[in-house]
């Protein structure tokens, strides 16, 4: 009985911790992005709220919460209110299956460093990342504005196109790890990360997550200079905030997925597992920001061409070759 209680308490603590870490990471990623982008552009970035602008995220939250919550007169009210929540929620849920450290021994209990070790964790991730499309589609549709609608149409088609390549690029991983469970996949990389074993799959996945996170160079759904703000043009206040937070949580999650699937998860010399995991995730987040600072946006037809005519065939070919290699190696 007590064991079960302790178990429950530990799971709860784990949940709260993961929640807190992910959310604060998302908040500070915003700040980090603004600061890093600023430095790349020879500016300072936010430096007024707190020392070096450190409480800027808090100021932003207060600002967003106190802003007028505006709903356009012609909007589809129910869907309009639902969409941002959906966007943030699906992002948060994905984190349930991501293993962020080796199993820990605490009070005689084996404590896996994952909220829920599903044996089909990878499929769960793919499913939820597809669901995230709803937040975007509904937001754009419910706003009843041409910019929003254009943004969400672009977003959806982009999501569908790149999800295929992404799904195909993780097939070799599954084949190599012989499991859908993310913990098993990490364990399979104890010696050598899949990124080195199968670089094409890694690259395709990397490119796909950029598209999946709707960030430069694939930020067409919210292309400011064409569509005002794309699918969330009509949103204000904390509803916009939810979209915004969702986007950054998504960034953390996609970085984590990349770490788990290709960079060997928490494996690494000298440092504890959790630290390695964090270092890898943050490094990929930095990459996200760096790419945003360096690359321009693709044109829409280039984006589609690239997805369907380059990434998709490459990913398919990669599946075949990996399969052949695995077969050959027995």
Partner 1 sequence: MPLLRDIKGFFPPFWITLRNMFRKPVTVQYPEQKPELPERYRARLVLTRDPDGEERCVACHLCSGACPVDCISMQAAEADNGRRYAAWFRINFTRCIFCGLCTEACPTLAIQVTSDFELSGRDPLKLVYEKEDLLVDHCGKNVEYSFYRQTGIGVAAPRGGNPNESAPVDVKDLLP
Which residues of the chain form contacts with partner 1 (CB under 8 A)? 36, 38-44, 290-291, 293-295
> What backbone torsions phi and psi does residue 103 show, to the nearest 5 degrees?
-60, 135
> Least distance to partner 1 from the beta carbon of 72, Å?
27
Our CB check for partner 1 shows the closer of 38 and 153 to be 38
- Of the candidates 132, 106, 157, 150, the one whose C-alpha atom is nearest the C-alpha of residue 301 is 157
Our CB check for partner 1 shows the closer of 19 and 44 to be 44
Our CB check for partner 1 shows the closer of 8 and 54 to be 54
- Of the candidates 245, 243, 249, the one whose C-alpha atom is nearest the C-alpha of residue 222 is 243
Collapsed DSSP state (helix, strand, coil) of residue 209: helix
> Least distance to partner 1 from the beta carbon of 43, Å?
5
> Least distance to partner 1 from the beta carbon of 330, Å?
36
> Least distance to partner 1 from the beta carbon of 291, Å?
8
Q: Rounded to an integer, what distance in angstroms lies between the CA atom of residue 28 and that of residue 174?
A: 33
> Least distance to partner 1 from the beta carbon of 162, Å?
19
Our CB check for partner 1 shows the closer of 44 and 70 to be 44
Our CB check for partner 1 shows the closer of 39 and 146 to be 39
Q: Rounded to an integer, what distance in angstroms lies between the CA atom of residue 131 and that of residue 235?
A: 20
Rg (CA), the chain: 20
Query: What's CA 105's distance to the chain center, in Å?
Result: 29
Q: Rounded to an integer, what distance in angstroms lies between the CA atom of residue 297 and that of residue 312?
A: 20
- Of the candidates 101, 233, 85, the one whose C-alpha atom is nearest the C-alpha of residue 154 is 233
Our CB check for partner 1 shows the closer of 126 and 287 to be 287
DSSP conformational letter for 179? -
> Least distance to partner 1 from the beta carbon of 47, Å?
8
């Amino acid at each position: 009985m007590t064991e079960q209680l302790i178990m429950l308490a530990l799971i709860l603590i784990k949940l709260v911790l993961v929640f807190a870490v992910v959310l604060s990471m998302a908040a500070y990623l915003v700040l980090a992005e603004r600061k890093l982008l600023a430095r790349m552009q020879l500016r300072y970035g936010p430096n007024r709220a707190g020392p070096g602008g450190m409480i800027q995220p808090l100021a932003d939250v207060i600002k967003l919460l106190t802003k007028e919550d505006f709903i356009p007169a012609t909007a589809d009210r129910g869907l309009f209110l639902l969409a941002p929540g959906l966007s943030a929620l699906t992002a948060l849920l994905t984190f349930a299956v991501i293993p962020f450290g080796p199993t820990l021994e605490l009070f005689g209990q084996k404590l896996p460093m994952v909220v829920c070790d599903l044996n089909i964790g990878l499929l769960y991730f793919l499913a939820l990342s597809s669901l995230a499309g709803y937040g975007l589609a509904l937001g754009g549709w419910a706003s009843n504005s041409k910019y929003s609608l254009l943004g969400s149409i672009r977003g959806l088609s982009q999501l569908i196109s790149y999800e295929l390549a992404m799904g195909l690029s993780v097939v070799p991983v599954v084949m190599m790890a012989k499991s859908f469970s993310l913990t098993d996949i990490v364990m399979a990389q104890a010696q050598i990360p899949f990124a080195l074993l199968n670089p094409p799959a890694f690259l395709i996945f990397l490119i796909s997550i950029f598209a999946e996170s709707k960030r430069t160079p694939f930020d067409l759904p919210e292309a400011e200079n064409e569509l005002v703000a794309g699918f969330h043009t009509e949103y204000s206040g904390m509803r916009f905030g939810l979209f915004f937070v969702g986007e950054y949580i998504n960034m953390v999650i996609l970085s984590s997925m990349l770490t788990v699937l290709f960079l060997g998860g928490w494996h690494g010399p000298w440092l504890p597992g959790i630290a390695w995991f964090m270092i890898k995730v943050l490094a990929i987040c930095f990459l996200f920001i760096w790419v945003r600072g360096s690359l321009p946006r693709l044109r829409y037809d280039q984006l589609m061409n690239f997805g369907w005519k380059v990434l998709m065939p490459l990913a398919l070919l990669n599946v075949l070759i990996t399969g052949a290699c695995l077969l050959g190696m027995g």
